[in-house]
Structure 1
Amino acid sequence: MIDVSAKLIRGPVYLTGECVECYITFSNPPVPQHKKSQSNSDVLESLAWASVQIHCQCSTNSKVAYPDSNSISAEELSTSNTDTSFAPCRGERGHIVLSTKPRILFCDLRLSAGESKSYVYSETLPCEAPPSYRGQAVKYSYKITIGMQRINCPIKLLRVPLRVLEVNGFMEHGMCGDSEDLTPTNPFLEIQRRETPLDVALQVMQNITARRTPNFYNITNTRGKVVRFCLFKQAYKLGEDIVGTFDFSDATIPCVQFSVVLQSEEEINPGCKRWAKLGPAIVSYSKYHEVCLNMKRSQLILPIPLHITPAFATKLVTLKWRLHFEFVTTLTPLTHHNSSSNAYGKVLQGPSSLDIETMIWNLPVNIYSTTPLQVSQGLQAQTKFGVVI
């Protein structure tokens, strides 16, 4: 019996273009004292070979037609191989959209009782790789698959899931080449020029999300002005709070309550729809709600979850983000005839019923990735996996 364990050295979250490192250990447990034998064959364990590979699979539901009809699905790939060949996607459904070259860890490994052997597997994710995504109609999932085999035995697979984040602006980082670096600087340190494209892309993302450019929106309906809304910036990173303010002081239509929901909009590309009338899939996440009748001002604080996928686009699907507003206004004149006095002052009683209207409004927002360490610490995802062969 050999215990195989795999641990992601820098956590389970990585950016496209980043190097993935996995620490893989093969160990033969020590034999108990009462079971020890003089024969080496009783305690020596061996493996014929072991190989590692990263692959990304795309799975879709019945409403989506995969664009590349000539591609080989995971089912076809797994059934076309015998039990003695390394098929990382064996038993899984979907299409393989990315697959790295297999790396051979060893051939003919022999371990005595209590002995272990460790290897470090490293692979750089392609910059054009799609991000990890679990949508309504489309899913992208990444795994490190470790295949191993004993002589004359079937292959054993150990799968280690990864989460991959896309660095928005990676390829077009030159558009912000003249932008000012908004991060704090130390005058006593020598300024070092960034060398890798990944560092440049991260700096571009930091500059975009750090810049505050307040935008004001006068929200009206056919009867008059409802509220003036201010959003302090349009670009956010995972884990940030969307902050805004509502000003009802100049409103001509009373607003009873409002709600704001962070929503994703999953749109299947036209060439991949099985039905032409298939609309976008809307999923709601964080929500902010407040009763604002007779209020002059209010605020919005809406957290962005760490587990969501930032906006991206592939040949199959496009994901966008928006703020969905719902305002409940009233046509009933608000008077204070129903009032009474007591020892503490005047008590105003609200109307028993209101004639209301509901108005909706959608505001697009840009959500970008953040550092993998922040996502890993926030979600506390599993980093170590094991199997016995």
Structure 2
Amino acid sequence: MPVELRAELTQGSIFLAGEPLVCKICISNCDQTYESPMLAWASVQLICMCSITKAPAKASQAVNGETSFIANRGETGFTYISTKPSILFCNLVLRPGESKFYEYEESLPWDAPPSHRGAGIRYSYKLVLGVSSLLGKTQLLRLPFRVLSVHGIKRIDQTLSTGDDGAAASQANKANPFVDWHPANTDEASQEETILAQISAITGSKCLSGYNICNSQGDRVTRFSLFKTAYKLGENVLGVFDFADCTAQCLDVKVSLQSVETVYQTEDSGERKPVAYHTCTHAVEQLAALDLQAAQLLLHLKPSLTPSFATRHADLAWKLAFEFATLRQPINDRPVPLQPLATLWQPPATVATEHFEWELSITVYACSPQAITASSSDV
């Protein structure tokens, strides 16, 4: 069939949940001499496929041969989200060299899960176009795209109905006074602008929190300060260790940025029962802390990571995992730090140490799709 089908997502391939997706479609007759065969129909649809590791993976099969439009044909897993199919045309014949242009627009569900490739569960999105001729099979064109969840963010209609748009703007301006968000003109504000303004209000506010970390004997090992616990993708987790005036000496500290994926099984009563946990480490920083008065922690949240989310099948949470190694007994005859040595000091071959762990939960939100695209193009 000398017919070419082209499709393009006008806003790129990354979207926020609740944001409208626009696709421009072109169908052309590549033959410059003859008309194209009659095209019976063309249809387009958005799908989200979910695949759970513990469940047997099954590929969706076609029904009534391969002449009907089945968007999930050949996909692995089950269909989690499926929009209503939209018909582009019926009984179309293209003259030699002729092209027809169409535009498809669909809003992503507000509660849509993010695109995620985890150890226990996976969510993937595709825009599927199907074209069928009277004498041939249905041909499918799939366009994958990424979705960022907006878990914990109010919908734009809920914000307007409760009158919280002014409060959201005030918080956003306090968080970042250099960003001009005009809620007085909310009708003109896009869904993306409203979502990002709320995220900026949450992640932009800083409130220094201090944590006294002690060992099993109750001796203070360090005081850890964190400027905030809510972050956007692409930001740095910045913290400070204060080892001054501590009663226990810290030899080493290791901090890991981890995501914890919890997979659930839904009971008949509707209650979710956790059946699997998967922890993944995305960044690590290790410090030799002996004789340090203070140290800085910096861990980067890559834009390619998945923000926090919660669905009926799985949750994804984030945390900082700390591992401390401390001295059980002080080292005798140890030289004073930053003082000149009269003789060369020989440290002991072995020391008695105590190891313990500590965790601190954080929340990760989505960032602007344009920021992710820009960061990936700079690599």
TM-score interval w.r.t. the shorter chain? 0.7 to 0.9
Q: Distance between the aligned counterparts of 2:244 and 2:54, measured in 1?
A: 51
Aligned residues of 2:318 and 2:361 also touching (Cα < 8 A): yes
Match of 1:244 among 239, 257, 267: 239
The 8 Å contact of residues 338 and 350 in structure 1, kept in 2 or not, is answered as no
2:47 is matched by which residue type in structure 1? Answer: H
Equivalent residue letter for 1:25: C
User: Aligned partners of 1:176, 1:356: CA distance in 2, in Å?
Assistant: 54
TM-score computed with the length of structure 2 as normaliser: 0.84
1:280 match: secondary structure: strand
Name the structure 2 match of 1:221. Answer: 215
1:232 maps to which residue? 227
Instruction: Map 1:1-389 onto structure 2 (within 5 A).
Output: 1-29=2-30, 40-41=33-34, 44=36, 47-62=39-54, 75=60, 78-167=61-150, 168-171=152-155, 178=167, 180=170, 181-182=173-174, 183-184=176-177, 192-195=184-187, 198=191, 199-223=193-217, 224-269=219-264, 271=266, 278-336=275-333, 347-380=344-377
| Distance in structure 1 (CA, Å) of the matches to 2:43 and 2:122 | 26
Alpha-carbon contact 2:127-2:144 (below 8 Å) kept = yes
* Equivalent residues of 2:257, 2:318 under 8 A apart: yes
Whole-angstrom CA distance in 1 between matches of 2:166 and 2:325: 45
- The runs of 5 or more residues in structure 1 that have no matched partner are 32-39, 66-72, 382-389
Shift of 1:74: 6.5
Give the alignment's Cα RMSD to 1 decimal: 3.2
- Counterpart Cα distance in 1 of 2:105 and 2:362: 35
Conservation of the 8 A alpha-carbon contact between 1:262 and 1:324? yes
8 Å contact from structure 1 (residues 272, 316) kept in 2: no
Q: 1:243, CA displacement in angstroms?
A: 0.2
Identity across the alignment (%): 35
Query: 1:322 is matched by which residue type in structure 2?
Result: K
1:79–1:169 CA distance, 2 compared to 1 (3 A): same
Report the residue type matching 2:128 in the other structure.
T
Aligned with 1:130: secondary structure?
Answer: coil
| CA contact 2:43–2:85 (8 Å) conserved in 1 | yes
Which runs of no fewer than 5 residues in structure 2 stay unpaired? Answer: none
The amino acid of 1:194's aligned partner reads T
Aligned residues: 358
The Cα offsets for residues 315-345 of structure 1, whole Å up to 9 and x where unpaired, read as 1111111111111112242244699xxx997
Specify the code of the residue in structure 2 equivalent to 1:222: S
Q: Which moved more, 1:101-110 or 1:253-262?
A: 101-110
Distance 1:105 1:320 in 2: 41
Change (3 A) 1:337 1:208: closer
Pair 1:281–1:177, CA change in 2 (3 A): farther
